[in-house]
Chains A and B, each alone.
Chain A
Amino acid sequence: MCLGVPGQIKDIYERDGARMGKVDFGGIIKEVCLDFVPEVMVGDYTIVHVGFAITQLDEQSAMETLALFEEMGVLEEELLAAPEVGTSDESQSPRGVT
Chain B
Amino acid sequence: MKYLEEFRDPELARRLLDDIHGIAKGQWVLMEVCGGQTHSLIRNGIDTLLPDAIELIHGPGCPVCVTPLEVIDKALRIAAQPNVTFCSFGDMLRVPGSGEDLFTVRSGGGDVRIVYSPLDAVKIARDNPAREVVFFGIGFETTAPANAMAVVQAKRLGLKNFSMLVSHVLVPPALDAIMSSPHTRVNGFLAAGHVCSVMGYWQYEPLAQRFRVPIVVTGFEPLDLLQGIRMAVRQLEEGRYEVENAYARAVTREGNVPAQKLLSEVFEVTPRKWRGIGEIPNSGWGLSSAYREFDAAIRFDVTDINTVEPAICRSGDVLQGLIKPNECPAFGKECTPRKPLGATMVSSEGACAAYYQYGRFVSLESIG
Interface residues, chain A, with chain B CB atoms under 8 Å away: 1-4, 6-8, 16-18, 25-26, 30, 33, 35-38, 45, 47, 49-52, 54-55, 57-59, 61-62, 64-66, 69-70, 72-73, 76, 89, 92, 94-97
B145 adjacent to A36 (CB under 8 Å): yes
Tell whether, in the assembled complex, residue A36 and residue B1 are in contact, meaning their CB atoms are under 8 Å apart: no
| B residues less than 8 Å from A95 (CB atoms) | 48-52
Which chain B residues border A3 with CB–CB below 8 Å?
36
Q: Which of B246-295 contact A (CB under 8 A)?
A: 246, 248-251, 256, 258-259, 262
Known contacts A2-B142, A6-B3, A55-B256: A69-B120 contact under CB 8 Å: no
Contact check, A72 vs B250: say whether CB atoms are below 8 A apart: no
Which of chain A's residues have a CB closer than 8 A to the CB of B36? 2-3
Instruction: Name the 8 nearest CB pairs between A and B, nearest first.
Output: A51-B117, A62-B249, A61-B248, A55-B197, A61-B249, A52-B146, A73-B15, A4-B194
Interface centre among B3, B143, B157, B248 (most CB of A within 10 A): B3
Q: Is the CB of B194 within 8 A of A54?
A: yes
CB within 8 Å for A33 and B117 given contacts A2-B143, A16-B153 = yes
Residue of B17, B146, B156 contacting most chain A CB atoms (<10 Å)? B146
> CB within 8 Å of A: which residues of B?
1-4, 6-7, 9, 11-12, 14-19, 21-22, 34-36, 45, 48-52, 61-64, 89, 91-92, 116-120, 139-140, 142-143, 145-146, 149, 153, 156-157, 192-195, 197-198, 220, 223, 227, 246, 248-251, 256, 258-259, 262, 349
Does B3 lie within 8 Å of A62, measured CB to CB? yes
Give the distance to chain B from A7, nearest Cβ to Cβ, in Å.
7
Selected from A25, A33, A58, the residue in CB contact (under 8 A) with B248 is A58
Q: Which residues of A sit under 8 angstroms from B156, Cβ to Cβ? A: 16-17
List of A residues within 8 angstroms of B192 by Cβ: 2
Distance in angstroms between the alpha carbons of A33 and B21 in the assembled complex:
43
Are A49 and B142 touching (Cβ within 8 A)? Answer: yes
The smallest beta-carbon distance between A21 and chain B, in angstroms, is: 13
For the complex formed, measure the closest distance between the CB of B186 and the CB atoms of chain A, giving whole angstroms.
20
Q: Which residues on the A side are within 8 Å of B195 (C-beta)?
A: 2
Quote the shortest CB–CB distance from B52 to chain A (angstroms): 7
- 16 residue pairs of the A-B complex, CB under 8 angstroms, read A1-B63, A1-B64, A2-B61, A4-B194, A17-B156, A35-B149, A47-B197, A49-B146, A54-B259, A55-B198, A57-B3, A58-B250, A76-B15, A76-B19, A94-B18, A96-B45
Q: Give complex CA distance A69, B20 in Å.
A: 12
* Contact of B21 (CB < 8 Å), options: A17, A64, A94: A94
